[in-house]
Structure 1
Amino acid sequence: MESLRRTVAIVEDDASMRRSVLRLLNAHGFLTEEYSSAESFLARDGVSNVGCLVLDVDLVGMSGIELQRRLKESGSGLPVIFITALEDDALKAMAMRAGCIAYLRKPFAAALLINAINDAFKP
């Protein structure tokens, strides 16, 4: 059951970035699910065991901020770690107010992401 709690969903529309994050997390013992859009994440199988979400802010279609808002409105307590290439203090402040675990600017150090995910899985 421990491994189910350590499943991380990666929602990133840049395929090479998504693969890089996936490889990093797998190398650190996390199970992963990958999605190329917020819409595909929302359409996933309901039996998903995701315990943490690594979410790009600037996605094609629905934004990461909008996805986080929808999850919260539906009662989800899924921890969110935002990743972004955007340098926007207002956007960062909005994400932090919405309760994300971390807001990491690309390129970020691998240790920052791993530490944030470990924090998200703490009871």
Structure 2
Amino acid sequence: MLRAVQRLLRQHDYEPILFSSAEELEQHANINKALCIILDIDLNRRSGIDLRHQLKAEGIAVPVIFITGNGSHSAREAALRSGCVAFLTKPFSAEELIEPLKKASAARS
């Protein structure tokens, strides 16, 4: 899934940086300069929603698009309460990902 999202973003002229873990993302020095973070809700040993809250607490206000294979009502509600710009259930279309990314881009300009 990670590589598929990377290819899709490159096709739309974005320059994605991939992280294979929450820890890698947290250690990235310039994450606050990102246009948007595309974050899975179910990370290895972590919750993407918890990571979103942690980043916000650290003053990192980068927009987040959540993706998940768990489209439960409670996961959706928690994601939306966290302030995400989109909540996408796998599988999702290219347009479903690109449209909120364009909105995040316009808001950060």
For the aligned pair, the TM-score class normalised by the smaller chain equals over 0.9
The alignment-based identity, stated in percent, is 40
Query: TM-score under structure 1 normalisation?
Result: 0.82
| SS of alignment partner, residue 106 of structure 2 | coil
The answer on 1:75 being equivalent to 2:55 is no
Aligned equivalents of 1:47 and 1:106: distance in 2?
A: 28
Aligned equivalents of 1:32 and 1:105: distance in 2?
A: 20
Q: Which runs of 4+ in 1 moved over 6 A?
A: none
| SS of alignment partner, residue 51 of structure 1 | coil
The answer on 1:54 being equivalent to 2:38 is yes
Residue 110 of structure 1: aligned partner: 94
Query: TM-score under structure 2 normalisation?
Result: 0.92
Post-superposition shift, 1:47?
A: 3.5
One-letter amino acid matched to 1:89? H
Say if 1:57 and 1:65, in contact at 8 Å, map to a contact too: yes
- Output aligned runs, 1:1-123, within 5 Å: 17-44=1-28, 46-48=29-31, 49-123=33-107
More strand by share: 1
Q: How many residues align?
A: 106
Say if 1:79 and 1:101, in contact at 8 Å, map to a contact too: yes
